[in-house]
């Protein structure tokens, strides 16, 4: 059993965000592993206290990065949540336990699991923002402290996807193929994700632009779907597997050098697929930083200070956190520095910021404190969830710091 690999050495404790705040052993990796083992063996009841400690885990997997026995903690937590989801014990009917509402289930199963429907939502949300309704609701307080209020504040400006002819239209979706403008070097696939195809169109467009300039044909298979991370971490492993099968089928039809992801959370989930598929998954910063073709591309200099936020998934799972730094170093005169406290989660963690707002806010406050009193123009991050989480707080503080993807900042200098 994977849990038996944990020897309770405690090396993970200072790296665990929840333990650092609560100082509760039950909110530490080794404490949660002991709880899981106890419930699995029947020594501990499946009750509200157990669920509370499991749900409070961010699944940042910082503990895995320092574990001398290489315990697959992320897998253990996912299995525990699946066990909770399928449990029929009456003790889990306690009102203190988080239960997914019918609306939450509808959104996860009929929207997130079918992300092409986001394309239909795009013109509605575009008009919602254009008419000032988003700002009006934020100011009115009508939503108060509901989850809709949190989402409304975090919703970034809605942009439109590029077509193969470089035209944009509210009624158009993604093109299947984007042809290169430079010397042809190969063919890659671009994974859109679910939330990102609506809320992070800028990064996806900029990734296509950079890849095309470097000579890569970019394929965007229309049958691709959500990566399955939200369902996997929410205990719905069956749906996660179904989504994985659809993505594998969509991309395996093509002869691709790599499958590019712009969101480290999606990249982490895709890397769990079978080896033939996962071997081709590559974060956009890593792919661009390691490919040829830069010699003939002019990048305008920038003397602005650029601070880099390392998403947990990019650092702890994909082990690619160094690539945004080296990619941005291609900008002449740029000052690229890490955000202090990069070894700690920002609190976004998928839907964690909705389900555990108090803990998420405490972790976010640490990030904002690290940004204060600095002559800073840009903060870059490779995860749309982290970006939305941090930027919404900076907007509330009227900060002038712009939060964007490292590729978007690089492309901006390529176009200058």
Give the largest Cα separation in the chain, rounded: 66
CB atoms inside a 10 Å sphere around CB 28: 25
| 275 Rama class: left (phi>0) / alpha (psi -120 to 50) / beta | alpha
Residue 268, domain member (yes or no):
no
* Contact criterion met (CB below 8 Å) for 394 and 368: yes
Among 49, 67, 93, the domain-final residue is: 93
* Contact criterion met (CB below 8 Å) for 341 and 56: no
CA-based R_g, the chain, Å: 21
> Domain span at residue 340?
305-415
Task: Give the distance from CA 151 to its chain's centroid.
Answer: 15
Total domain count, the chain: 2
| Residue 207 structure tokens | 């990734």
- 3-state DSSP percent of the chain in helix, strand and coil, to 5: 50, 10, 40
Among 39, 71, 93, the domain-final residue is: 93
Residue 366, domain member (yes or no):
yes
pLDDT of residue 135: 83
Instruction: Report the first-to-last Cα separation within the chain, whole angstroms.
Output: 55
Question: Is this model's pTM higher than 0.75 or not?
Answer: yes
pLDDT of residue 90: 44
CATH number at residue 311: 3.40.50
Q: How many residues does the chain have?
A: 416
**CA of 16: how far to CAs of 19, 58, 109, 124, 234, in Å?**
5, 9, 31, 40, 20
Among 24, 58, 93, the domain-final residue is: 93
pLDDT of residue 146: 74
Residue 174, domain member (yes or no):
no
Q: Is residue 369 within a helix (H) or strand (E), and if so which, with residue range?
A: helix 357-371
Residue 381 forms beta bridges with which residues?
Answer: 309
**CA of 350: how far to CAs of 121, 221, 229, in Å?**
21, 24, 8
Q: List all residues 6 or more positions away from 125 whose beta carbon is below 8 Å from its beta carbon.
A: 155, 158, 198
Residue 256, domain member (yes or no):
no
**309: closest CA among 274, 347, 273, 340?**
340
pLDDT in tens, the chain (416 residues): 788 889 999 999 999 999 999 999 999 999 999 999 999 888 988 888 899 999 999 999 999 999 999 999 999 999 999 888 877 544 555 544 445 665 677 777 777 888 878 888 888 888 888 888 888 888 887 777 777 788 888 888 887 777 765 655 555 678 999 999 978 999 999 999 988 888 899 999 999 999 999 999 999 999 999 999 998 988 888 999 999 999 999 999 898 999 999 999 999 999 988 778 988 999 999 999 999 989 889 999 998 999 999 999 999 999 999 999 999 999 999 999 999 999 999 999 988 988 899 999 999 999 999 987 678 899 999 999 999 999 999 988 888 899 999 999 999 999 98
Residue 188, domain member (yes or no):
no
**115: closest CA among 235, 200, 233?**
200
| Residue 168 structure tokens | 């944009």
Residue 396, domain member (yes or no):
yes
Residue 47, domain member (yes or no):
yes
**CA of 87: how far to CAs of 41, 73, 84, 97, 306, in Å?**
15, 21, 5, 13, 47
């Amino acid at each position: 059993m994977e849990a038996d690999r944990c020897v309770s050495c405690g090396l993970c404790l200072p790296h665990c965000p929840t333990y650092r705040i609560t100082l509760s052993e039950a909110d530490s990796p080794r404490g949660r592993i002991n709880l899981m083992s106890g419930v699995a063996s029947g020594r501990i009841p499946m009750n509200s206290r157990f669920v509370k400690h499991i749900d409070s885990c961010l699944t940042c997997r910082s503990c895995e990065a320092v574990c001398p026995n290489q315990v697959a903690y992320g897998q253990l937590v996912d299995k525990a949540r699946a066990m909770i989801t399928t449990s029929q014990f009456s003790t889990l009917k306690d009102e203190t336990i988080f239960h997914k509402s019918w609306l939450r289930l509808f959104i996860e199963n009929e929207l997130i699991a079918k992300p092409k429907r986001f394309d239909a939502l795009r013109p509605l949300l575009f008009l919602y923002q254009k008419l000032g309704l988003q700002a009006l609701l934020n100011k009115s307080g009508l939503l108060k402290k509901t989850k809709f209020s949190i989402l409304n504040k975090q919703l970034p400006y809605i942009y439109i996807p590029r077509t193969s002819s470089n035209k944009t239209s509210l009624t158009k979706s993604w093109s299947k193929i984007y042809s290169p403008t430079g010397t042809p070097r190969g063919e890659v696939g671009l994974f859109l994700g679910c939330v990102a195809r609506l809320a992070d169109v800028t990064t996806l467009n900029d990734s296509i632009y950079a890849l095309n300039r470097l000579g890569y044909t970019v394929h965007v298979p229309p049958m691709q779907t959500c990566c399955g991370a939200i369902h996997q971490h929410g205990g719905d492993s069956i749906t996660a597997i179904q989504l994985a099968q659809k993505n594998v089928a969509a991309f395996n039809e093509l002869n691709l050098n790599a499958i590019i992801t712009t969101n480290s959370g999606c990249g982490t989930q895709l890397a769990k697929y079978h080896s033939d598929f996962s071997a081709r998954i590559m974060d956009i910063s890593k792919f661009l930083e390691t490919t040829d073709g830069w010699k003939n591309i002019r990048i305008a200099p920038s003397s602005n200070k650029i601070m880099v936020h390392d998403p947990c998934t990019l650092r702890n799972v994909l082990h690619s956190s160094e690539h945004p730094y080296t990619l941005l170093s291609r900008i002449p005169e740029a000052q690229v520095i890490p955000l202090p406290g990069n070894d700690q989660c920002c609190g976004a963690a998928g839907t964690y910021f909705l389900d555990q707002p108090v803990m998420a806010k405490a972790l976010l406050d640490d990030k904002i404190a690290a940004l204060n009193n600095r002559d800073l123009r840009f903060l870059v991050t490779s995860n749309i969830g982290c970006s939305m989480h941090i930027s919404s707080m900076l907007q509330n503080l009227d900060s002038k710091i712009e939060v964007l993807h490292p590729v978007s900042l690089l492309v901006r200098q390529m176009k200058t």
